[in-house]
Structure 1
Amino acid sequence: MQINRNIFFSEALISFLASKKIRHAVLSPGSRNTPLTFAAAGNKKISTYSLIDERAAGFFASGLARSTKKPVILICTSGTAAAEYLPAVIESFFQKIPLIVITADRPAKLRGTGANQTIYQNNIYGDHVIKAWDVPQPEPDQRYARKWSGVLGELSDLIDRGLNGPVHLNLQFDKPFEPDAFTDNLAAAEIRMLKKSLRITSKSGKKLPPAYKMSSELNKKITSVFHFVIFCGPDAVKSKEDSAYIGRLADAFGAPVLCDAFSGISKQHQSRHTFHSFHLYAGNLISEIKPDIIFQFGNLPVSKAGEEILSMKGVTRVVVNREGEKRGDYGNTAIVCTADIASFAKETIRAAKNKKFSDTSYYERIHALEQAAEEAKRHSLESILFTEAEIIKTVAENCTSRNLLMIGNSMPPRDLDYISGLIRGSLNLFHNRGASGIDGIIASAAGIAAGSVSRTFLIIGDVSFFYDLTSLQIIKQNNLNLTIVLLNNGGGKIFEMLPVKRFPEMIRQYYHTPAGVNYRKLISAFDIRYDNPKSVSELTEVLGRRITGCNVIECKTSIKDTIRLRKAAEEKFSSNLIV
């Protein structure tokens, strides 16, 4: 039987991945990855997407993995194509998004010889992948097949335990690549032996939550103090059960739960202890009513106020996550607990069951601050119209519980976080806060939309939009149901809110980055519907239309209004406290 050895082993790889219930592959066109392309396209269990731009393809795959909650295959050719995946691999690593990145490569003997399109890509992603394999070019013998089986066995174990980030397979191929260009003539018995050698036996099952036992240090600490705060950063909770255990922990310790907008705690699952407006009273917590212990869940917060709370001196942070990561280097005492939320909450509540928390005034003071802060934010939002915060609130409240909402980087996540407590209804939020880059935002949202039957919404700033403009082609090509709300404040205006604003000439020349383009014309070039509302009522009307496919809504805004809104809220909050 005649075979092409590159095709044979590529088909074995893709069939194995399909057997692990992986159903999506994102392909970047190229020559060296031809065997992988044919294998993926020929597997009936795999849905494929062929995307022009490798950088966008990487982010598209990360979005697709998030909305489907399953690993996604990502395939490209050799050379700089593999390098283009790096930003998405980095984002996926820090968000723990499961990607299986497969890069085709030239044979190792060509490295360092000046051979065309040959780079050192065997470890190109460095520490930003969980595991990397550099696989030699295929040989049609059992020895090679057994080595290949070993690689697949390691990958199988990672998938079975719950793949918690990207992995990288760098596969060396020599010509020819096409299925009708045969490289070997093997007897049927030889083929059977190769396939037998490729059989994989998984060594482990699903990874169980780590067994948690409270340390004597923490036990002593929590039973000797009275004032607690719970802080839920981005991606703190993954389920209704997680939210419920956060609520039980709050009840047991009389602790307010300070929630980042991206914490994952939805409105339906919030307890009476859940607070969102701490941005205005972080200073009060630090100077007047400092807690003894902060239970910290999730990743680091979006806001400066959240960082200030976690960095309080004289406070013990109890940092809880399954990975045992420190999550922030703030110079205060940090006790890291390697546990899931349920295990930690059960053990901690049990340890404190005989302790009576008599100082209810502590909780009541923070609750009063929360109410004053929320009222101040509501007042300022109603006073200064068509700010970016009001636009975000309007879009969020027009999303149903089935819709998905992606928030870009720079100002949009900060504005959402600031007013999240005022938003009615629950949100299915997505973000690129792993590395917080402005690249690949549209492509990520396109991937999220591709994995969902419901409409996806994206709120994005003008610099991020311009940077990823060509990803509109992905949306059009795949007829995705995506509404993009473009907040155009003239480019890079977040720097008006940072300390560098003290240098206006430098800001003007080096930090403000207006693209100076007509977005209506650019968007029309992709044959995508464009709207430009001038008020909340016009925006609400546009959002209420029944639309299939993609549309872009450009809202022209001013950073000065954002600054005024926050200043007005601070002044109103101060006056509320005086009264």
Structure 2
Amino acid sequence: MSNILNENISRLWASMIVDEFAKNDVRDFYCAPGMRNAPILAASFYNESITPYSFIDERALSFRALGKAKKEQNPVALTCTSGTAMANFLPAVIEAYRSNLPLIIITADRPIELVKIDANQTINQIDIFKEFCCYTLALEAPSEALTPKRLRTLIATAIGRAKAHQRPVHINLPFREPIDATPELISESYLESAKETFHNSLSKNKTYFFNNFKLNAELEDLLKSATSPLLVFGKFDKQANGQDYIKALKEIDIPKYIDVTSGIKYHFNLEDNLNPSFDHSEVFEAYQRSKPDLIIHIGGRLVSKHYYRYQELNPQIKIIHVTDFDEDHDPGFSNNIKVICNPLSFLAEVKNLGLNSSPVINWKTFTNAKRDIIEENEISFPYLSKNIVEKTDVEIDLLIGNSTAIRSFDLYISADSHYPITVFSNRGVSGIEGFNATLCGLCDADDKAKVLVLGDISFMHDLNSLYMLKEMKDKNITIIIVNNKGGGIFELLPVAKERDFLHLLTTPHTNNFTDLLRAFDYIEYTKVQKKIEFNAIYSKALKQNKINFIEVELNEEINKAVYDKLKTVKM
């Protein structure tokens, strides 16, 4: 039940807006501190249906909100004061846009008469997010000219757009003073009209979105005529129905290439017809010798860049791209048919066709040879990704940082085991910031064990969020920092030969994080350099309801040597 704040028109509008969010099942408010958004902060605090979260740093808070939206697939609200505060939201808003996540940003503003005279803490706030939102609602300052009914309709419509399009929405709301509890006259008729809207348990205007696939003759002929189809499953952020996708994919008995950003890769192995990544040169060459005649690509973009190179080199292969979002996803410029629907409904139709594929490539000897190299050598990124997966014996949410981290986990494939791991990533635009905060957002959703793996530079980009972790001190959280002294991925690329200017790419440093992390009394910190140390500490951390940081010091020369040896394995 909402406590109606009616000391003045700004507080009354804020109460109605927040109440309308609650009626639309948007109950998480991530609240950046400030004065201009005080009416929204007060309304969210006094509404019993709302859970408010607060943090000092807007950028970190916005990534935390992103994590909650990623985990629950339901819109969350993110609010801040006027001026540059909203600009700190921009990286998370861009990531949400490219990851199809429904953030709803409520930016408090100063009224137009102050914005246009260069008053303090004013900018043009309307256009900052315009390229990365599916809808913008620019309200005027609260007044009795807009009826309570119409205000709620506008808010409900904005929320509905976020749900239907699964994209960010921006609501800009100027407030005139008073913005605290100072009394100011509201007409009796307007106040009564506003109060009536609180008593209705339903939203003013709720949106539902349905879209199921039905096979047509053209697609049926294309699917049935394929003699060696390959099913590719790309980036997918709807982990709430991950088990449905696992079941659907296992019922289709053709070769599968499942990207790590699908979230469900580790629920499959070679015995499930799972194929290794195209980023193994040997796999790429094998597929050049034994080409599929049809690729069915479900979901978004893959981590593998060589998958798209393969498409460009083989334009004769037909590609059906199935997505639930109407966006131009085609990095290989190769899609022949685009199907916009609920992918589960598409997979159900494909299952009924009874597709099969021959011949199927046997990857087992190749995979085991790679595994032996990883285990025989000193600690490396491939060793960490392999053993983090294989030593996980409890259900976890695994958040993987970008750059080398995500690529290393994508290259891993299991020969004969399944692992209880749901993967999350920020691959919308693949930025390196905000991962500690995103993890906190995942933790806001439930008490399931959480693991974050990220590089040293990525960790240093989000140090403010270490303070946010205090709220999570009784949860099962393990954060693994792979410290290779800066930008190790560039050492694996051809540009590494240009040593003279490499330091401008790699962000070299000599830091370790011992003193920093031990300054936080709610963090359990350990540094490791050996394989046996890591395995023992990681396995122990998975069983503890505390925040464990494991810093792994990686020798980049050894790491590169392992990658070079892995390239020597032939089919």
- Contact 1:449–1:480 under 8 Å retained in 2: no
Take 1:215 and 1:155, find their aligned partners in 2: how far apart are those partners?
38
Distance (whole Å) between structure 2 residues aligned to residue 194 and residue 236 of structure 1: 38
Counterpart Cα distance in 2 of 1:526 and 1:268 = 36
Match of 1:492 in 2: 487
Two-structure CA RMSD over aligned residues (Å)? 2.6
Contact between 2:104 and 2:159, CA under 8 Å: does it hold in 1? no
SS at match of 2:528: coil
After TM superposition, the structure 1 stretch with the greater mean CA deviation from structure 2, 223-232 or 276-285, is: 276-285
**Corresponding residue of 1:430:** 424
1:168 to 164, 167, 170: 170
CA contact (8 A) 2:9 2:186 kept: no
Tell me: CA distance 1:285–1:335, structure 2 relative to 1, closer, same or farther (3 Å). farther
Q: Which of 321, 325, 328 matches 2:327?
A: 325
2:273 is the counterpart of 1:273: yes
Q: Is the aligned partner of 1:261 residue 2:260? A: yes
Match of 2:248 among 242, 245, 256: 245
Partners of 1:236 and 1:12 in 2: CA distance: 31
Q: Quick check: 1:34–1:177 contact (8 Å CA) kept in 2?
A: yes
| Separation (CA, whole Å) in 1 of partners of 2:486 and 2:14 | 45
Offset at 1:264?
3.1
Contact 2:456 2:484 in 1 (8 A): yes
Whether the aligned pair in 2 keeps the contact of 1:240 and 1:269 (CA below 8 Å) is no
- The aligned runs of 1:227-376 (5 Å cut-off) are 227-235=228-236, 238-249=241-252, 251=253, 255-265=254-264, 267-268=266-267, 272-280=272-280, 281-311=282-312, 312-348=314-350, 360=358, 362-363=359-360, 366=361, 368=362, 370-376=363-369
- If the length of structure 2 is used for normalisation, what is the TM-score? 0.90
SS of residue in 2 equivalent to 1:571? coil
Contact kept, 8 Å, 1:313 with 1:331, in 2: the verdict is no
CA distance in 2, matches of 1:487, 1:536: 13
CA contact (8 A) 1:323 1:338 kept: yes
2:566 paired with 1:569 = yes
| CA deviation after TM superposition for structure 1 residue 205, in Å | 4.8
Q: Paired residue for 1:530?
A: 525
**Is the 8 Å Cα contact of residues 28 and 75 (structure 1) preserved in structure 2?**
yes
Q: Cα offset for 1:66? A: 2.4
Q: 1:14·1:39 contact (CA, 8 Å) conserved in 2?
A: yes
Residue 156 (structure 2) aligns with: 153
Q: Deviations for 1:334-378, whole angstroms, at most 9, x for unmatched residues?
A: 21112223332344455x56x9x6x73x22xx2x2x223312221
Residue 117 of structure 1 aligns to a residue whose secondary structure is: coil
Q: Measure how far apart 1:471 and its partner are.
A: 0.9
**Code of the aligned partner of 1:262:** T
Paired position in structure 2 for 1:119: 123
Q: Distance in 2 between matches of 1:74 and 1:439?
A: 18
Tell me the equivalent position of 1:81. 85
Secondary structure, in 3 states, of the residue corresponding to 2:17? helix
Task: Point out 4+ residue stretches in structure 1 off by more than 6 angstroms.
Answer: 197-200
Structure 2 equivalent of residue 397 of structure 1: 390
- Which deviates more from structure 2 when the two are superposed, residues 100-109 or residues 544-553? 544-553
Q: SS of 1:85's equivalent? A: helix
After superposition, residues 52-201 of structure 1 pair within 5 angstroms as: 52-141=56-145, 143-158=146-161, 164-179=166-181, 181-187=182-188, 189-196=189-196
Alignment CA distance shift 1:139-1:202 (3 Å): closer
Per the TM alignment, residue 5 of structure 1 is displaced from its structure 2 partner at its CA by 0.8
Q: 1:441 and 1:43 mapped to 2: Cα distance?
A: 30
How far the C-alpha of 1:269 sits from its partner, in A, is 6.3
CA distance in structure 2 between the aligned counterparts of 1:42 and 1:2, rounded to whole angstroms = 12
> Which runs of 5 or more residues in structure 2 are unaligned?
none
Question: Superposed, which structure 2 residues align to 1:508-527 within 5 Å?
Answer: 508=503, 510-527=504-521
Distance 1:538 1:84 in 2: 39
> TM-score, normalised on structure 1?
0.89
**What's the offset of the Cα at 1:416?**
0.7
Secondary structure, in 3 states, of the residue corresponding to 1:132? strand
Q: Which amino acid in the other structure matches residue 325 of structure 2?
A: E
* Change over 3 Å in CA distance of 1:236–1:456 after alignment to 2: closer
Contact 1:457-1:484 within 8 A present in 2 as well: yes
What's the secondary structure of 1:44's corresponding residue? coil
Deviations 1:118-177 (A, max 9, x none): 111113111211211111100135x34344133123135346x55612211110101111
- Structure 2 matches for 1:208-227, cutoff 5 A? 208-214=210-216, 216=218, 218-227=219-228
